[in-house]
Amino acid sequence: MNTQSQPTDDLRDLYRELILDHARSPRHFGKLESTSHQAEGINPLCGDKLRLYLKIDADQTISAVNFEGSGCAISVASASLLTETINGLSTERALDYYANVVYLLTGVDAANPEIRLDLGKLKALEGVREFPSRVKCATLAWHALHSAINNTNDTVSTE
């Protein structure tokens, strides 16, 4: 039997090397001991579950960020990219990234951010847009970030 079936362009776009790399070797992974803010994100239908830890200094700088949990390649890679992106930023700028990423992933006009940022590596996530059932995997960590910065301490659910 021929077991060679080539992935389509859409699929290659979804599982880019950068995404797979972050999924296999997530950055800033593990619990952060001295944390000032944290939030949990769950995707009840998928079972994805992650907790985001932030250390926010008095001047509103995010001086440390980690996450732990389990999920699919898309949710883990997105969380990993998040930690790389926002580490060292002001909370205000981190929230700008939140808005930009959600807009990148959903394309919903209502989510169109006032400030457009160069998303750099985060652009690797744009392939997710072609997979509606996976968008919430990619947004999970970002919603948790929003919740953590706003100090709601709520569990963020994609449902």
Partner 1 sequence: MTGQSAKKSKTDDSDWRGSFPALHQEINGHPLVYLDSAASSQQPATVIAAVQTYQECSHANVHRGVHTLSHRATEAYEGTRDRIADFINASSRTEIVFTSGTTDSINLVAQSFCRPTLKPGDRIVISHLEHHSNIVPWQMLCEQTGAELVVASIDESGQVDVSEITDLLDERVKLLALAHVSNALGTVLPVKEIIGIAKTRGIPVLLDGAQAVPHLPVDVQDLDCDFYTFSGHKMFGPTGTGVLFGRESLLEAMPPYQGGGDMILEVSFEGTTYNDLPYKFEAGTPNIAGFVGLGAAVKYLQCIGMQRICQHEKELLEYMTTQLSEIQDVRLIGTAANKASVQSFMLADIHPHDVGTILDHQGVAIRTGHHCAMPVMEYFGIPGTARASLALYNTRDDVDALVVALHAAHRIFS
Residues that bind partner 1 in the complex, under the rule CB under 8 A: 1-8, 10-11, 14-15, 20, 45-49, 70-74, 131, 133-134, 137
Comparing CB distances to partner 1, the nearer of 2 and 34 is 2
**Beta carbons of 37 and 149 less than 8 angstroms apart:** yes
C-alpha to C-alpha distances, 101 to 1, 40, 96, 118, 157, nearest whole angstrom: 42, 19, 9, 10, 17
Supply the minimum distance, in Å, between the C-beta of residue 95 and partner 1: 28
Question: What is the C-alpha separation between 31 and 138, in angstroms, rounded?
Answer: 21
Comparing CB distances to partner 1, the nearer of 49 and 93 is 49
Comparing CB distances to partner 1, the nearer of 34 and 133 is 133
Supply the minimum distance, in Å, between the C-beta of residue 117 and partner 1: 28
Supply the minimum distance, in Å, between the C-beta of residue 50 and partner 1: 11
Supply the minimum distance, in Å, between the C-beta of residue 142 and partner 1: 18
Comparing CB distances to partner 1, the nearer of 11 and 115 is 11
